[in-house]
Amino acid sequence: MAARRRRVWDEDVTDETPVCSAKGCRAAAVWVLAWNNPKLHTPERRKTWLACEEHREHLSQFLGVRGFLKDVVTLDAWDAAQGS
């Protein structure tokens, strides 16, 4: 089955395209925000949110003020480091 295509923020996005984690945003993700909640996760555990250019700073601040943000890298760099 071919992937559906839709226009988002003047970009072609398919169902396989990673999208921003910001509520209501469907823009293509460019950034990975790696985080963990030290009350729930072991120190080496990393959960991830994806962010478009517009929402990277907002999502980073949200996680940062809670002490959860561990790293912010481009999606391409994250994928390369994960071997995918």
Q: Which residue range(s) make up the domain with 70?
A: 5-82
Number of domains in the chain: 1
Among residues of the chain, what percentage have pLDDT more than 70? Answer: 81
Q: What is the pLDDT of residues 4-39, one digit of tens each?
A: 333 344 445 556 889 999 999 999 999 999 999 999
Mean pLDDT of the chain: 85
47 CB contacts (<8 Å, ≥6 apart)? 34, 35, 36, 37, 41
Entry pTM: 0.78
Between 15 and 42, residue with greater pLDDT: 42
- The span from the CA of 71 to the CA of 75, in Å, is 12
Sheet holding 31-35, edge to edge: 47-51, 31-35, 69-74
